[in-house]
Amino acid sequence: MLSASPLPDYLVNRYYGWKATTYAKNESWYQHLAEMGQHPRAMVVSCCDSRVHVSSIFGADQGEFFIHRNVANLVPPYTPDGETHGTSASVEYAVTVLKVAHLIVLGHSNCGGVKGCYDMCSGDAPDLSRSSSFVGRWMELLRSRFDALPEGSEDSRLRELEHQAVLTSLRNLVTFPFVREAMEAGRLTLHGLWNDIGAGSLSCYDPQTREFSPI
Amino acid sequence: MLSASPLPDYLVNRYYGWKATTYAKNESWYQHLAEMGQHPRAMVVSCCDSRVHVSSIFGADQGEFFIHRNVANLVPPYTPDGETHGTSASVEYAVTVLKVAHLIVLGHSNCGGVKGCYDMCSGDAPDLSRSSSFVGRWMELLRSRFDALPEGSEDSRLRELEHQAVLTSLRNLVTFPFVREAMEAGRLTLHGLWNDIGAGSLSCYDPQTREFSPI
Amino acid sequence: MLSASPLPDYLVNRYYGWKATTYAKNESWYQHLAEMGQHPRAMVVSCCDSRVHVSSIFGADQGEFFIHRNVANLVPPYTPDGETHGTSASVEYAVTVLKVAHLIVLGHSNCGGVKGCYDMCSGDAPDLSRSSSFVGRWMELLRSRFDALPEGSEDSRLRELEHQAVLTSLRNLVTFPFVREAMEAGRLTLHGLWNDIGAGSLSCYDPQTREFSPI
Amino acid sequence: MLSASPLPDYLVNRYYGWKATTYAKNESWYQHLAEMGQHPRAMVVSCCDSRVHVSSIFGADQGEFFIHRNVANLVPPYTPDGETHGTSASVEYAVTVLKVAHLIVLGHSNCGGVKGCYDMCSGDAPDLSRSSSFVGRWMELLRSRFDALPEGSEDSRLRELEHQAVLTSLRNLVTFPFVREAMEAGRLTLHGLWNDIGAGSLSCYDPQTREFSPI
């Protein structure tokens, strides 16, 4: 028998509260969304981290952002090998079906996935180095960027690696033919952002200066 | 040169608004989260769909839910082949590092990914059948459930397949050794939910009745 | 011999019910809390009054609020005299150990402690005026606010004094060096609330208007 | 100007949810409580710890328990020196005004206050030993019990000290003349409980066996 438990009561109660307030006030919009389908303007790739909340930062309404969240906001390179690639499926759906106008990669400070990569590549996380570690194998996507990190304090190197996670995703995104086509047709732009959780600041990558600058 | 554009003005303006209001009012909490790390109670696996908004439904605060979002809220089976598996990495991080107490799979009505699976398996979506289609290969995870669908109207069969997407994830979750261990130690429970977007209703899977019942 | 009686049966029975239902459903979360420790976002100072229930009003889960409750939700001024100060110990633990982001003082209508202060200061409660009355000495913390009450009906003056109990606590909180330091570092904010029990309404103090306004 | 901030939005939203559901369904009871006053059957002294939730464990309704919460659920001895004693004020109000029938002291596992006492008395917490530490001075109430701890593992000694915190409160309660009088008149009983947070178990002190036994 399939294992599944009832929802904890505090969540049930909060759901009832939502239904009686937010839903009640927006019922026509939810019905509209159900009947007319979604037409988001942008896809956001962000981290699973519970402290990152793109809808809040951008005051986004239901229906605005198509959001994929994974560990460390990584997009792997185009690999059409007939295997299962969840992130690539999300990007393909957003670009070819929904035809979003923007692909936004949102990185953040204090990222546990990036820290794991840092420790693994430094030889300090044998667990992540095992071939059976999904987090380890996933963070391999960033190993070449670790190898290229400049000297510096661990803090500054970690921050740089968080930035590189965003840039790696941007770089990999253009290896997808449908992404490149949409960009060349002027239908799609890419954007690289990094959020400092404590300071609430947001930086945007500028290819001219090759730096993340505060917006 | 890496392709990256400035953020559209309307998002920049909204970010400024958020910084001056929500961030200003919650600065102390964001600093706490940055310094003390995240301690979420639950991981939620939900769809990238822009109309699904788990934080809103459950009145969740920053820091409460570790959220993975992919097409059709699917968790693939345990496959420790040393390859890149983004969803499995998210689950591993939540269960083994954050030690979340609940894994909640949240499906929803009008799911484009499930509709794609339905069309593909019905022979009506040749694009998705191509080996180069990431969405198609991803939705293969659900093909055996399509084959087992009962007779009925397309609407009822689609809804059933949306339910099956949730159950498939629950079934696959227990193939991960670290999920099973945490469950056996009483440290983790699984939960299957389905949200009707237009009606704002929420159903929870009950293994006794083998049905999704409104909560 | 120490005097202690068995728990009344009706409470034993309710505990059994809780164990078989709420605990059973949330076992994984309770184990998580036991192993991972508490990480509450806020400390709440509220009254012992059986009608005040902050967890319910805010849909709070176990683990969310560090709660100190005393008569009339009062925080005394900073008095580092090496004596025993229970309320100050609670505030110190919340701010310096748990590093909560918010200190919420929650007052309420029909407060027996505030009514006792009113009667005592009006000369109508000789019992409370005796030096041996703990309630009387505790409510002395509010006497200067009684002296400053505007003219009006007893009802309006009582309500004003309930508001002043909240403001007195807010005022005293900033006399604690560790509270002030955390506030200056942007790590802590103070909040003053007042709950009308019968009406179920909640007001929040606004320093600009110097009034409690409904939220 | 008094420092006070607006309530974080997520709490405002949850309050709206409570108002529209729990309050709406129980409005007549809340109005009754406001007009008729509180008539709780028991007073509970428990810890501020966010993981302890006596209302939940005993399925308590608004109006049932008069609850005092402080660090480590301690009641100091009777000290009628005309100074400010918050815990004593709570006990006095419950016994002499509300005439509760039961005084329940509820301790718990993983108690940070008790751990602090243990470390301080072991010489491992110089911060708590300073005369300016409110937590340290508060936990002095338990020092004599630390000195009397039997040999054993730290875990077993900590548990014993948590039990002793409950017994110390029971012992101090009978030093209050009004408590003793009510007990002698058969109007009041004392109860000592200890809750294991992870296991969800509850033990009750039995003066015959001098042990906490599971209920």
Check CB contact of A10 with chain C, cutoff 8 Å: yes
Check CB contact of B212 with chain A, cutoff 8 Å: no
Predicted confidence band of residue B144 (pLDDT cuts 50, 70, 90): very high
Please answer whether residues A200 and B23 qualify as being in contact, where contact means their C-beta atoms are separated by less than 8 angstroms.
yes
Long-range pairs for B201-209: beta carbons < 8 A, 24 or more residues apart = B202/A15, B202/B57, B204/A4, B204/A6, B204/A7, B205/A2, B205/A4, B205/B163, B205/B166, B205/B167, B205/B170, B206/A4, B206/A6, B207/A1, B207/A2, B207/A3, B207/A4
Query: Inter-chain contact B59–C61, Cβ cutoff 8 Å?
Result: no
Most confident range, picked from A27-41, B26-40, D79-93: D79-93
- Per CB-CB distance under 8 Å, the chain B contacts of C56 are none
- Which of these, B141, B120, B132, lies nearest to B74 by C-alpha position? B141
Q: Which of D5, D6, D14 sits opposite B59 (nearest CB)?
A: D14
pLDDT for C25 beyond 90 = no
- Please give the residue of chain A at the shortest CA–CA distance from C64: A10
Please answer whether residues A203 and A215 qualify as being in contact, where contact means their C-beta atoms are separated by less than 8 angstroms.
yes
For residues D69 and D189, give the distance between their C-alpha atoms in angstroms, rounded to a whole number. 19
pLDDT for B53 beyond 90 = no
Close Cβ partners of A61 (under 8 Å, ≥ 6 residues apart)? none
Q: What proportion of chain A, given as a percentage, has pLDDT over 70?
A: 100
pLDDT for D44 beyond 90 = yes
Q: What Å distances lie between residue D15 and B59, C60, D8, D171, CA to CA? A: 10, 10, 11, 40
Residue A95 distance to chain B (closest CA, Å): 12
pLDDT for A1 beyond 80 = no
- Please give the residue of chain D at the shortest CA–CA distance from B25: D8
Q: H-type helices in chain C, by residue range? A: 9-18, 24-36, 54-57, 86-92, 112-121, 126-129, 134-139, 143-147, 154-173, 177-184
Q: How high is the pLDDT of residue D106? A: 98
Q: How high is the pLDDT of residue B25? A: 86
Q: Does the annotation flag A111 for ligand binding?
A: yes
Q: Does the annotation flag A49 for ligand binding?
A: yes
Q: What Å distances lie between residue C193 and C75, C165, C203, C205, D14, CA to CA? A: 14, 11, 6, 6, 15
Mean pLDDT of chain B: 95
Arithmetic mean of pLDDT, B32-45 = 94
Least confident window among A11-15, A109-113, C165-169, C177-181: A11-15
Arithmetic mean of pLDDT, B137-145 = 97
Q: What Å distances lie between residue A8 and B58, B213, D182, CA to CA? A: 11, 15, 41
Mean pLDDT of chain A: 95
Arithmetic mean of pLDDT, C67-79 = 98
Check CB contact of D17 with chain A, cutoff 8 Å: yes
For residues D14 and D9, give the distance between their C-alpha atoms in angstroms, rounded to a whole number. 8
C–D interface: beta-carbon pairs under 8 A: 292
Please answer whether residues B69 and A47 qualify as being in contact, where contact means their C-beta atoms are separated by less than 8 angstroms.
no
- Per CB-CB distance under 8 Å, the chain A contacts of C185 are none
Check CB contact of C201 with chain A, cutoff 8 Å: no
CA angle centred on D195, ends D189 and D197, rounded to 5°: 160
- What are the phi and psi torsion angles at B139 (to 5°)? -75, -10
Arithmetic mean of pLDDT, A159-186 = 98
Predicted confidence band of residue D119 (pLDDT cuts 50, 70, 90): very high
Q: What proportion of chain D, given as a percentage, has pLDDT over 90?
A: 91
Q: What Å distances lie between residue B68 and B47, B74, B112, B205, CA to CA? A: 8, 10, 18, 20
Q: Which of D8, D14, D17 sits opposite B25 (nearest CB)?
A: D8
Query: Inter-chain contact C186–B101, Cβ cutoff 8 Å?
Result: no
Kindly list the partner chains of chain B, i.e. chains with 3 or more CB atom pairs below 8 Å.
Answer: A, C, D
Check CB contact of D107 with chain C, cutoff 8 Å: no
Q: What Å distances lie between residue A205 and A117, B7, B121, C145, D182, CA to CA? A: 22, 9, 42, 56, 72
CATH of segment(s) D38-214: 3.40.1050.10
DSSP codes joined into one string, chain B: -----PPPHHHHHHHHHHIIIIIHHHHHHHHHHHHH----SEEEEEE--TT--HHHHTTPPTTSEEEEEEGGG--PPP--SSS--HHHHHHHIIIIIS--SEEEEEEESS-HHHHHHHHHHTT--HHHHSTT-HHHHHHGGGHHHHHTPPS--HHHHHHHHHHHHHHHHHHHHTTSHHHHHHHHTTS-EEEEEEEETTTTEEEEEETTTTEEEE-
Residue pLDDT, tens place only, C29-62: 999 999 999 999 999 999 999 999 888 899 888 8
Query: Inter-chain contact C25–A10, Cβ cutoff 8 Å?
Result: no
Residue pLDDT, tens place only, B80-124: 999 999 999 999 999 999 999 999 999 999 999 999 999 999 999
Kindly list the partner chains of chain D, i.e. chains with 3 or more CB atom pairs below 8 Å.
Answer: A, B, C
Arithmetic mean of pLDDT, B52-67 = 91
Q: How high is the pLDDT of residue B60? A: 86
pLDDT for C1 beyond 80 = no
What was the ipTM of the complex prediction?
0.96
- Please give the residue of chain D at the shortest CA–CA distance from C40: D50
Q: Which residues of B are annotated as a binding site for Zn(2+)?
A: 47, 49, 108, 111
Query: Inter-chain contact A23–B87, Cβ cutoff 8 Å?
Result: no
* 3-class secondary structure per residue, B42-87: EEEEEECCCCCCHHHHCCCCCCCEEEEEEHHHCCCCCCCCCCCCHH
Kindly list the partner chains of chain A, i.e. chains with 3 or more CB atom pairs below 8 Å.
Answer: B, C, D
- Tokens (6 digits) for B139: 């939705």
For residues B92 and B89, give the distance between their C-alpha atoms in angstroms, rounded to a whole number. 5
Please answer whether residues C46 and D48 qualify as being in contact, where contact means their C-beta atoms are separated by less than 8 angstroms.
no
Residue pLDDT, tens place only, D87-100: 999 999 999 999 99
Q: Does the annotation flag D111 for ligand binding?
A: yes
Residue pLDDT, tens place only, A67-83: 999 999 999 999 999 99
Q: Which of C25, C29, C59 sits opposite A6 (nearest CB)?
A: C25
Q: How high is the pLDDT of residue B61? A: 84
Predicted confidence band of residue D62 (pLDDT cuts 50, 70, 90): confident
Residue pLDDT, tens place only, A90-139: 999 999 999 999 999 999 999 999 999 999 999 999 999 999 999 999 99
For residues C15 and C134, give the distance between their C-alpha atoms in angstroms, rounded to a whole number. 33
Q: Does the annotation flag C117 for ligand binding?
A: no
Arithmetic mean of pLDDT, B183-212 = 96
pLDDT for A88 beyond 90 = yes
Least confident window among A197-206, B200-209, C102-111, D21-30: D21-30
- Per CB-CB distance under 8 Å, the chain B contacts of D8 are 25-26, 29, 61
Predicted confidence band of residue A61 (pLDDT cuts 50, 70, 90): confident
Q: Which of C48, C82, C134 sits opposite D66 (nearest CB)?
A: C48
pLDDT for B1 beyond 90 = no
Q: How high is the pLDDT of residue B73? A: 98
Q: What proportion of chain C, given as a percentage, has pLDDT over 70?
A: 100
Domain boundaries, chain A: 7-36, 38-214
Query: Inter-chain contact B59–D9, Cβ cutoff 8 Å?
Result: no
Q: How high is the pLDDT of residue D59? A: 84
Check CB contact of A77 with chain B, cutoff 8 Å: no
Query: Inter-chain contact C59–A5, Cβ cutoff 8 Å?
Result: no
Long-range pairs for C56-61: beta carbons < 8 A, 24 or more residues apart = C56/D18, C56/D22, C56/D62, C57/C195, C57/C202, C57/D14, C57/D15, C57/D18, C58/D11, C58/D14, C58/D15, C58/D18, C59/A10, C59/A13, C59/A14, C59/A17, C59/B59, C59/D14, C59/D17, C59/D18, C60/A10, C61/A8, C61/A10, C61/B41
